[in-house]
């Protein structure tokens, strides 16, 4: 096990997994309680558009994808009452198709498999630093205003009447959701990253604890499955994203089954 730490990419992957565990524990609670799962899944599909555009124009992939996804997600979230679920689904599907067309024009130089399911070796110091900075900024924005966000989640109408700028916080949440999805793509993969913005809180909420305890359980859950998935990925030579999400799903259903079994006893 100690020999793994001689590889810089492994150290960066472990570091990013810990940072992402903190981020996902916070974001997943908001996504699950706000019922934004559909939007999270749509955002990961929209990431194809951002990556395709960046690859086609030969510009920075990280920032281009974040800006593209944030724009699409904010538009979809703010237009939810005007557009049907079908309309929003078409918007995200269109963004994905747009990206795939641009990636096809590029001539196949893009590593699609790593993008889809994660790339353990491809994790760099730059991504670790940016992930850390972005997570710190998100926590600085969210934590001092967590009571306001919870107010909007559980009693939106009263929050609006009380003077809370609901639309502003909706926009902030959509942007944070987009950033979280993009930050997790390198390690988990675009097809699976949305699961890690949902499963931690879904697992934690099975235990019906306080909000603070829910965050802690979500963090521990994320960290265990992500680090375990990374280690297994190294030894089994399999995509890290597939292993991480598989472990998360297995743990979730074991916990859910045990909860139901306990209630029936």
Tell me the per-residue pLDDT of 83-139, one tens digit each, with 9 for 90 and over: 677 788 888 889 999 988 888 886 666 676 777 778 777 788 888 899 999 999 999
**How far apart are the C-alpha atoms of 20 and 135, rounded to whole Å?**
8
Domain range annotation of the chain: 2-264
**How far apart are the C-alpha atoms of 156 and 69, rounded to whole Å?**
25
Model confidence at 2: pLDDT above 60: no
Q: Secondary structure of 113-151 in the HEC alphabet?
A: HHHHHCCCCCCCHHHHHHHHHHHHHHHHHHHHHHHHHHH
Mean pLDDT of 7-35: 90
Mean pLDDT of 33-43: 89
Mean pLDDT of 151-160: 87
Mean pLDDT of 224-229: 94
Residue with tokens 């630093």: 129
Among candidate residues 181, 210, 133, 246, the one with its CA nearest the CA of residue 218? 210
**How far apart are the C-alpha atoms of 47 and 193, rounded to whole Å?**
11
211: tokens are: 């909000």
DSSP state of 108: S
Please state the pTM of the whole predicted model: 0.88
Among candidate residues 190, 181, 185, 175, the one with its CA nearest the CA of residue 73? 175
Q: How confident is the model at residue 169 (pLDDT cuts 50, 70, 90)?
A: very high
Percent of the residues in the chain that have a pLDDT greater than 70, as a whole number: 94
- Give the residue with greater pLDDT, 134 vs 263: 134
* Topology annotation, domain 2-264: ABC transporter involved in vitamin B12 uptake, BtuC (1.10.3470)
**How far apart are the C-alpha atoms of 18 and 177, rounded to whole Å?**
18
**How far apart are the C-alpha atoms of 1 and 18, rounded to whole Å?**
18
Residue with tokens 């799962």: 37
Q: How confident is the model at residue 20 (pLDDT cuts 50, 70, 90)?
A: very high
CA gyration radius for the chain?
Answer: 19
**How far apart are the C-alpha atoms of 222 and 104, rounded to whole Å?**
34
pLDDT of residue 107: 61
The answer to whether the beta carbons of residues 81 and 33 sit under 8 Å apart is no
Mean pLDDT of 49-54: 90
pLDDT of residue 108: 60
Q: Vertex 104, ends 191 and 107: CA angle to 5°? A: 120
């Amino acid at each position: 096990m100690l020999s793994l730490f001689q590889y810089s990419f492994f150290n960066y992957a472990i570091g990013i997994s810990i940072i992402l565990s903190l981020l996902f524990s916070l974001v997943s609670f908001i996504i699950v309680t706000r019922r934004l799962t559909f939007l999270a899944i749509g955002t990961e599909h929209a990431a194809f558009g951002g990556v395709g555009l960046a690859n086609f124009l030969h510009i920075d992939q990280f920032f281009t994808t974040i800006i593209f996804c944030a724009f699409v997600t904010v538009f979809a979230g703010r237009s939810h009452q005007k557009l049907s679920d079908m309309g929003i689904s078409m918007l995200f599907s269109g963004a994905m198709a747009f990206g795939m067309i641009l990636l096809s024009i590029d001539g196949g130089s893009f590593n699609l498999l790593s993008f889809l399911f994660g790339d353990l070796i491809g994790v760099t110091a730059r991504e670790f630093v940016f992930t850390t900075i972005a997570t710190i900024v998100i926590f600085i924005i969210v934590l001092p205003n967590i009571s306001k966000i919870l107010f909007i989640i559980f009693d939106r109408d009263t929050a609006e009447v009380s003077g809370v700028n609901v639309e502003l916080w909706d926009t902030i949440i959509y942007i944070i959701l987009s950033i979280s999805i993009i930050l997790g793509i390198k390690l988990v993969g675009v097809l699976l990253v949305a699961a890690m913005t949902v499963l931690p809180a879904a697992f934690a909420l099975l235990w019906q604890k306080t909000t603070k305890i829910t965050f802690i359980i979500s963090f521990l859950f994320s960290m265990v499955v992500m680090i375990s998935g990374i280690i297994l990925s190294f030894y089994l030579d399999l995509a890290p994203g597939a292993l991480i999400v598989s472990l998360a799903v297995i743990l979730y259903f074991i916990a859910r089954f045990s909860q139901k079994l306990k209630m029936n006893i």
